[in-house]
Structure 1
Amino acid sequence: MKRGRGIIKASSNSRKLSIMGSGYSIGGRLIRTSEILSTSRSLDRKNEELNAERLHRQELTATARISEDAHADVPTLNENEGDLVDNFAGVLDGTARADFSHAGEDFAARLDMDEDELMEDLQASHNRLFSKRRDFRKWRTRTQKLVDGFQPQMEGIADAYVAWELRSSEEGLGTFLGPPSDAMVQNYLPTMVVDLFSAHIVDIPLLAGDDSLSSGFVNQGYFPCSPTHVTVTLTTRVLEVFRVASLRCPRLAIQPFVKSLCDIHGIPFRPYLSTQFSVAFDLYLATRAIVDARVKVLLKRDEPDWRLKNACPACMYALEDEPPLDLPFLSTKDGNNSLKRWNRRERGEDGAAGPSKERHDNRTPPGDYYLTRAEVDVWAKEGLDDLLKGFVPADDEEGWEPEAGGCSDRWQNMREDVTSKAWGMYDETGIFLSLCRHGFVLLVTDMVQSGELGKYGFAVTNHLIKVLGEVAEGYDIGCEFGERINKHPVLGPYARHHRHRSLVGAFHGHGHCRLCQLTHLATYVDGVGLEDLEYCERFFSKSNALVPSTRYASRFHRQQAIATYLQHTDTFETYQSLSLLLVNKYKGALEVQRMEPALLEAMRDLGVAHKSTFAGWLAREKEVLTALKREPVEETLAMEYYQKLVNLAAASMQMDNVLRVGTTTSLAPSHDDYEAQAKATRRLEAQQRHAIEGHTKAQLLVNDMELRMSIAVCWLPDSQEWIDAAVMVRRRRYQRALDHLQGLIIARMFELTKMNMSGTGYKLRKHIAKALQARSRAVQTAVVNYNAAASRLSPPRDELTWEQVVDYAFLSDFDLLCDGREDIRDEPWAKPSGRIAMDLYFKIERAGEEVERLNIEIRRLVTYMRDEDGFLRRAWVSIRESAGEAMAHQVHLYWMRQGPFHDEHRYRRHALQRLLGFSGSLEPGTPINKDRLPPPGAAALPPRAPSLEPERGADSDDSNDEAELFAERYALLRVTQDDSGSPDGARDPGEIGL
Structure 2
Amino acid sequence: MPVAAHFPSVVITVLLQLRCPRLGIQPFVRALCDVHGIAPRPYLATQFSVAFDIYLAIRARVHTRVQVALGRNTPNWRLRNACPACLYKLEGEAPIPLPLLATIDGNNSLKRFWRREREEFDADGKSVPGASKERLDNRVVPGDYYLPRIEVDKWSKEGLEDLMRGFVPGSEVEDEGEGCTERRQNMREDTTARAYGMYDETGIFPALCRHGFVLVVVDMVKSGELAKYGFAITAHLIHVLGELGLGYDIGCKFGKMVQMHPALSKLAADNNFRALVGAFHGHAHNRRCQLSNLATYVSGMGLEDLEGCESFFSKSNALAATTRYATAFHRQQAITTYMKHADTADAYQGLSVLLANKYRRALKIKGTLPLLRETMASMGVETRSVFETWLQKERAYLASLTKEPTQETLQMEYYQKLVNLCDHETRLNAIRGVEAPFIPAPQDTTYAEAAAQTRRIETQRRHAEEVHAKTLAAVQDLEIRLGIEPRWTPEDREWVETAAMLRNRRYQRALDELEGLVVARMFELSKVNMSDTGYKLRKHIAKALQARSKGVKSALDTYNAAAAALSPPRTPLTWDQIVNYAFLSDFDLLREGREDIRSEPWAQPGGRSAMDQHYKLLRADEEIARLNLEIPRLVTYMADEEAFLIHHERRLREEGSAGLAHQVALQRMERGRFNALHMDRLVKLSKEPGFTASLLRGVGMSDAGLPQDTAAPRDEEGGEEVDDGGDEDVDAVADTLEHILRVTA
After TM superposition, the score normalised by the length of structure 1 is: 0.61
Q: Where does residue 95 of structure 1 map in the other structure?
A: none
> Shift of residue 763 of structure 1?
9.2
Matched letter for residue 40 of structure 2:
F
Q: Where does residue 376 of structure 1 map in the other structure?
A: 152
Structure 1's 696 and 570: CA in aligned 2 closer, same or farther, altered over 3 A?
Answer: same
Q: Where does residue 41 of structure 1 map in the other structure?
A: none
Asked if structure 1 preserves the Cα contact closer than 8 Å seen for 2:489 and 2:495, the reply is no
Q: Where does residue 727 of structure 1 map in the other structure?
A: 496
Asked if structure 1 preserves the Cα contact closer than 8 Å seen for 2:213 and 2:347, the reply is yes
Kindly report which structure 2 residues correspond to 1:358-437, keeping only aligned pairs within 5 A, or say none.
358-382=134-158, 405-437=178-210
Distance in structure 1 (CA, Å) of the matches to 2:339 and 2:591: 55
Q: Where does residue 707 of structure 2 map in the other structure?
A: 932
Structure 1's 901 and 403: CA in aligned 2 closer, same or farther, altered over 3 A?
Answer: closer
**SS at 1:331 equivalent:** strand
Q: Is residue 335 from structure 1 mapped to residue 110 from structure 2 by the alignment? A: no
Q: Where does residue 211 of structure 2 map in the other structure?
A: 438
Distance in structure 2 (CA, Å) of the matches to 1:619 and 1:697: 45
Distance in structure 2 (CA, Å) of the matches to 1:810 and 1:861: 37
Kindly report which structure 2 residues correspond to 1:156-195, keeping only aligned pairs within 5 A, or say none.
none
* Residue from 300, 314, 330 that aligns with 2:71: 300
Q: Where does residue 433 of structure 2 map in the other structure?
A: none
Kindly report which structure 2 residues correspond to 1:726-805, keeping only aligned pairs within 5 A, or say none.
726-743=495-512, 773=546, 776-782=549-555, 785=558
> Shift of residue 567 of structure 1?
0.5
Structure 1's 791 and 315: CA in aligned 2 closer, same or farther, altered over 3 A?
Answer: closer
Q: Where does residue 357 of structure 1 map in the other structure?
A: 133
Distance in structure 2 (CA, Å) of the matches to 1:936 and 1:785: 72
Structure 1's 346 and 402: CA in aligned 2 closer, same or farther, altered over 3 A?
Answer: farther
Matched letter for residue 242 of structure 2:
G
Matched letter for residue 739 of structure 1:
Q
Distance in structure 1 (CA, Å) of the matches to 2:653 and 2:554: 79
Distance in structure 1 (CA, Å) of the matches to 2:423 and 2:543: 47
Matched letter for residue 872 of structure 1:
L
Distance in structure 1 (CA, Å) of the matches to 2:524 and 2:331: 37
Matched letter for residue 605 of structure 2:
P
Matched letter for residue 490 of structure 1:
A
Structure 1's 932 and 951: CA in aligned 2 closer, same or farther, altered over 3 A?
Answer: farther
Q: Is residue 485 from structure 1 mapped to residue 258 from structure 2 by the alignment? A: yes
* Residue from 223, 226, 230 that aligns with 2:4: 226
Q: Where does residue 28 of structure 2 map in the other structure?
A: 257
> What whole-Å deviation, never above 9, does each CA across 1:144-202 have from its counterpart, x for those lacking one?
xxxxxxxxxxxxxxxxxxxxxxxxxxxxxxxxxxxxxxxxxxxxxxxxxxxxxxxxxxx
Asked if structure 1 preserves the Cα contact closer than 8 Å seen for 2:500 and 2:567, the reply is no
**SS at 1:355 equivalent:** coil
Q: Where does residue 946 of structure 1 map in the other structure?
A: 733
Q: Is residue 586 from structure 1 mapped to residue 320 from structure 2 by the alignment? A: no
Matched letter for residue 406 of structure 1:
G
Matched letter for residue 369 of structure 1:
Y
Asked if structure 2 preserves the Cα contact closer than 8 Å seen for 1:332 and 1:434, the reply is yes
* Residue from 593, 597, 614 that aligns with 1:841: 614
Distance in structure 2 (CA, Å) of the matches to 1:257 and 1:762: 24
Q: Where does residue 294 of structure 2 map in the other structure?
A: 521
Asked if structure 2 preserves the Cα contact closer than 8 Å seen for 1:639 and 1:725, the reply is no
> Shift of residue 583 of structure 1?
1.3
Structure 1's 421 and 900: CA in aligned 2 closer, same or farther, altered over 3 A?
Answer: same
Kindly report which structure 2 residues correspond to 1:961-980, keeping only aligned pairs within 5 A, or say none.
none
Aligned length: 682
Distance in structure 1 (CA, Å) of the matches to 2:383 and 2:390: 12
* Residue from 453, 456, 479 that aligns with 2:229: 456
Distance in structure 1 (CA, Å) of the matches to 2:2 and 2:77: 33
Q: Which runs of 5+ in 1 are unaligned?
A: 1-222, 657-682, 954-994
* Residue from 645, 651, 655 that aligns with 1:878: 651
**SS at 1:347 equivalent:** coil
> What whole-Å deviation, never above 9, does each CA across 1:370-413 have from its counterpart, x for those lacking one?
1121112222223879xx9xxxx999999xx9998311000101
> Shift of residue 272 of structure 1?
0.6
Q: Where does residue 316 of structure 2 map in the other structure?
A: 543
**SS at 1:323 equivalent:** coil
> Shift of residue 949 of structure 1?
5.9
Structure 1's 457 and 596: CA in aligned 2 closer, same or farther, altered over 3 A?
Answer: same
**SS at 2:117 equivalent:** strand
**SS at 2:106 equivalent:** strand
* Residue from 550, 568, 571 that aligns with 2:341: 568
Distance in structure 2 (CA, Å) of the matches to 1:384 and 1:692: 47
Asked if structure 2 preserves the Cα contact closer than 8 Å seen for 1:502 and 1:520, the reply is yes
Q: Where does residue 901 of structure 1 map in the other structure?
A: 674
Asked if structure 2 preserves the Cα contact closer than 8 Å seen for 1:586 and 1:851, the reply is yes
Kindly report which structure 2 residues correspond to 1:21-420, keeping only aligned pairs within 5 A, or say none.
223-227=1-5, 230-234=7-11, 238=13, 241-242=14-15, 245-349=16-120, 353-382=129-158, 405-420=178-193
Matched letter for residue 258 of structure 1:
V
> Shift of residue 914 of structure 1?
2.0
Structure 1's 794 and 612: CA in aligned 2 closer, same or farther, altered over 3 A?
Answer: closer
Matched letter for residue 374 of structure 2:
E
**SS at 1:234 equivalent:** coil
Q: Where does residue 50 of structure 1 map in the other structure?
A: none
Q: Where does residue 115 of structure 1 map in the other structure?
A: none
**SS at 2:145 equivalent:** coil
Distance in structure 1 (CA, Å) of the matches to 2:176 and 2:597: 29
Distance in structure 2 (CA, Å) of the matches to 1:342 and 1:829: 53
Distance in structure 2 (CA, Å) of the matches to 1:801 and 1:832: 15
RMSD: 4.6
Asked if structure 2 preserves the Cα contact closer than 8 Å seen for 1:647 and 1:698, the reply is no
**SS at 1:894 equivalent:** helix
Q: Is residue 861 from structure 1 mapped to residue 639 from structure 2 by the alignment? A: no
Tell which deviates more after alignment, 774-783 or 843-852.
Answer: 774-783
Distance in structure 1 (CA, Å) of the matches to 2:681 and 2:739: 14
Structure 1's 649 and 746: CA in aligned 2 closer, same or farther, altered over 3 A?
Answer: closer
Structure 1's 225 and 762: CA in aligned 2 closer, same or farther, altered over 3 A?
Answer: closer
**SS at 1:617 equivalent:** helix
Asked if structure 2 preserves the Cα contact closer than 8 Å seen for 1:523 and 1:843, the reply is yes
**SS at 1:891 equivalent:** helix
> Shift of residue 417 of structure 1?
0.6
**SS at 1:837 equivalent:** helix
Kindly report which structure 2 residues correspond to 1:664-703, keeping only aligned pairs within 5 A, or say none.
701-702=477-478
> Shift of residue 468 of structure 1?
0.8
Tell which deviates more after alignment, 784-793 or 864-873.
Answer: 784-793
Distance in structure 1 (CA, Å) of the matches to 2:606 and 2:571: 30
Q: Where does residue 453 of structure 2 map in the other structure?
A: none
Q: Which runs of 5+ in 2 are unaligned?
A: 122-126, 430-458, 715-721, 741-745
> Shift of residue 460 of structure 1?
1.0
Distance in structure 1 (CA, Å) of the matches to 2:572 and 2:374: 38
Distance in structure 2 (CA, Å) of the matches to 1:828 and 1:336: 42
Structure 1's 641 and 775: CA in aligned 2 closer, same or farther, altered over 3 A?
Answer: same
Determine what percentage of the aligned residue pairs are the same residue. 50
Tell which deviates more after alignment, 872-881 or 431-440.
Answer: 872-881
Larger Rg: 1
Distance in structure 2 (CA, Å) of the matches to 1:473 and 1:890: 36
**SS at 1:442 equivalent:** strand
Distance in structure 1 (CA, Å) of the matches to 2:113 and 2:739: 48
**SS at 2:158 equivalent:** helix
**SS at 2:4 equivalent:** coil
> Shift of residue 899 of structure 1?
2.0
Q: Where does residue 635 of structure 1 map in the other structure?
A: 408
**SS at 2:265 equivalent:** helix
Structure 1's 951 and 279: CA in aligned 2 closer, same or farther, altered over 3 A?
Answer: closer
